């Protein structure tokens, strides 16, 4: 059984602080409470084996896909998020060492190098994947393109255990604990890693180590980016034979299946022309190169260096032109959209806000980036400008999506201008998300809401209970301290006690 190390916990803290706990949800305020008393938190996490911690199922919602359907996404409880990030840190170096060497450009996705809170080495893995595809297309006449169906949710976690042990036999106890941890958060299901935490990327790549070796042993050339596999040969017959063997191997050893809709054999040069160097693809690359560079934490292009002019009006014009191009695509290109929105967010360019809200239905698959952008650029004047749009928007069917509603509630709840609108206030307080109602109560200093909910705090689930504790910062000081100290004395849940202490110390 595994006891987490100081090094892995420090990595987990830096990782979550610098990046995120889940790519699909707002970062919980509980992390501020945990960082506030980190030495005590770390002492608790170092005190016993991983399997001895109380593990609960994650928050689960769906996010719209750009074309159709929904993707299931997860957010772990804050303590579990730290544990999971630390476990991934513990095995990432061994997993990387066991993979096909990076210079072969076979396993192109997410090369691992633990440093400064990041799991990933520098460089554009996607660019390597694209370049290798073009190189192989010059060498071979045909390509087999395929990908694994619903990959993260179908990963057989006992095979993950096997993969980690195979990478480094001394990690067998850690592998056992990772399997037990994932089984517990999956309510004892033997399949699936959470979609959202970056730690799951380490787990997913570990599972595919033997798949890359299997394909290499077939005597054919291939390259892979996560579950997107491209296999090359001068013989279509050979490719169909490999496809059959790969299908059987994935089923027998991993219980994974290939997507029929996304599997095809075609002329290699034609594939490059249609999918890598089409007018749309070239325009997309050109647009991205004017904005951002690739970051493995989003599987897209991220805000590190931007080639934009310093003058604000030129920046605005560039970004407005870019977002108009995005809107004119038949379907939302998530990579381009996120890049444009994040560039505007980093440069605090508020002029694309109207485009996003006027076309909110189109941008729902990127609602997390939309909300984070709006939060970054919103001041009182912009909130006043956007208020009529939000008052119209809150009645729209887009908020039938639980996650879209959650993000927009999270955003509007933090701004007095919106909370002064009866319609938006009703939108937040009539909903089911206590966490966002608590934020709104803090924004509006709604003591009555806090008092009403603190009376029944033990009838609430963990997320809601801690949100009410957080909202106690608006109570009169003597009432706040008396109640929170009582919580610290009687609550059996250590995270509740830490949140209560943080509010007492910082209110």
- Quick: pLDDT tens for 132-190: 999 999 999 999 999 999 999 999 999 999 999 999 999 999 999 999 999 999 988 89
Chain segment 427-476, per-residue pLDDT in tens = 999 999 999 999 999 999 999 999 999 989 989 999 999 999 999 999 99
317 located within any domain = no
CB 431 within 8 A of CB 400: no
What is the Cα–Cα distance from 164 to 204, expressed in whole angstroms? 11
253 located within any domain = yes
* Cα 398 off chain centre by: 21
The phi and psi torsions of 191 (rounded to 5 degrees) equal -125, 145
Q: Which residue has the higher pLDDT, 183 or 312?
A: 183
Q: How far apart are the first and last CA of the chain?
A: 40
Chain segment 73-102, per-residue pLDDT in tens = 999 999 999 999 999 999 999 999 999 999
Residue 230 structural domain? 6-275
Helix 367-377 to helix 334-346 angle, to the nearest 10 degrees? Answer: 10
CB 24 within 8 A of CB 59: no
Can you give the pLDDT at residue 295? Answer: 52
Chain segment 221-256, per-residue pLDDT in tens = 999 999 999 999 999 999 999 999 999 999 999 999
What is the Cα–Cα distance from 307 to 315, expressed in whole angstroms? 10
Number of Cβ atoms within 10 Å of the Cβ of 120: 21
Can you give the pLDDT at residue 276? Answer: 81
What is the Cα–Cα distance from 242 to 491, expressed in whole angstroms? 58
CA distances in angstroms from 41 to 20, 32, 46, listed in the order given = 19, 12, 9
Q: Is 244 exposed, middle or buried (0-12, 13-18, 19+ CB in 10 A)?
A: exposed
Can you give the pLDDT at residue 126? Answer: 80
Can you give the pLDDT at residue 380? Answer: 96
264-267 sheet: strands from edge to edge: 221-225, 228-233, 142-147, 264-267
Report the domain count for the chain: 1
Position 307 pLDDT exceeds 90: no
195 located within any domain = yes
244 located within any domain = yes
301 located within any domain = no
305 located within any domain = no
List 294's β-bridge partners, or say none.
301
431 located within any domain = no
Q: What is the dihedral of CA 245, 167, 23, 122, to 10 degrees?
A: -100
CB 206 within 8 A of CB 163: yes
Helices (H), 272-396: 279-289, 312-328, 334-346, 353-358, 360-363, 367-377, 380-393
416 located within any domain = no
92: left (phi over 0), alpha (psi -120 to 50) or beta: alpha
């Amino acid at each position: 059984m595994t006891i987490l190390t100081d090094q892995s916990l420090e990595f987990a803290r830096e990782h979550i602080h610098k990046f995120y706990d889940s790519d699909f949800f707002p970062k919980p305020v509980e992390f501020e409470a945990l960082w506030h008393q980190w030495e005590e938190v770390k002492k608790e996490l170092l005190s016993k084996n991983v399997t001895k911690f109380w593990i609960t199922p994650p928050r689960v919602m769906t996010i719209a896909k750009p074309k159709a359907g929904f993707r299931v996404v997860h957010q772990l409880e804050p303590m579990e998020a730290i544990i999971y990030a630390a476990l991934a840190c513990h095995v990432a170096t061994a997993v990387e060492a066991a993979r096909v060497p990076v210079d072969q450009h076979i396993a192109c996705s997410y090369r691992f190098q633990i440093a400064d809170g990041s799991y990933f080495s520098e460089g554009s893995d996607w660019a390597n994947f694209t370049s290798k595809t073009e190189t192989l297309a010059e060498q071979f006449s045909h390509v087999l393109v395929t990908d694994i169906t619903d990959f993260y949710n179908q990963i057989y976690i006992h095979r993950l255990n096997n993969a980690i042990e195979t990478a480094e036999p001394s990690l067998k106890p850690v592998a056992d604990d990772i399997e037990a941890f994932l089984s517990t958060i999956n309510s004892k299901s033997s399949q699936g890693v959470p979609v959202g935490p970056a730690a799951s990327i380490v787990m997913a790549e570990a599972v595919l180590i033997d798949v890359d070796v299997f394909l290499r042993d077939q005597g054919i050339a291939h390259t892979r980016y996560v579950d997107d596999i491209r296999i090359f040969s001068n013989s279509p017959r050979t490719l169909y034979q490999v496809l059959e063997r790969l299908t059987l191997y994935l089923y027998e050893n991993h219980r994974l299946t290939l997507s029929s809709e996304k599997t095809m054999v075609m002329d290699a040069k034609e594939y490059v022309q249609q999918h890598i160097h089409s007018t749309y693809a070239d325009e997309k690359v050109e647009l991205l190169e004017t904005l951002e560079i690739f970051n493995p934490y989003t599987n897209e292009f991220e805000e590190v260096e931007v080639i934009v002019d310093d003058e604000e009006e030129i920046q605005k014009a560039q970004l407005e032109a870019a977002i108009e191009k995005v809107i004119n695509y038949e379907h939302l290109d998530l990579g381009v959209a996120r890049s444009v929105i994040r560039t505007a967010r980093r440069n605090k360019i508020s002029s694309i806000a109207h485009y996003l809200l006027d076309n909110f239905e189109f941008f729902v698959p990127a609602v997390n980036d939309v909300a984070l952008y709006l939060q970054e650029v919103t001041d009182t004047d912009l909130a006043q400008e956007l208020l009529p749009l939000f008052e119209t928007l809150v009645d729209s069917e887009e908020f039938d999506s639980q996650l879209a509603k959650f993000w927009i509630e999270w955003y509007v709840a933090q701004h007095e201008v919106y909370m002064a609108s009866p319609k938006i206030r009703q939108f937040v307080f009539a909903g089911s998300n206590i966490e966002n109602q608590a934020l709104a109560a803090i924004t509006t200093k709604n003591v009555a809401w806090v008092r009403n909910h603190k009376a029944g705090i033990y009838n609430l689930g963990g997320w809601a209970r801690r949100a009410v504790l957080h909202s106690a910062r608006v109570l009169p000081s003597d009432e706040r301290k008396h109640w929170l100290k009582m919580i610290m004395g009687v609550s059996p849940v250590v995270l509740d006690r830490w949140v209560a202490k943080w509010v007492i110390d910082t209110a």
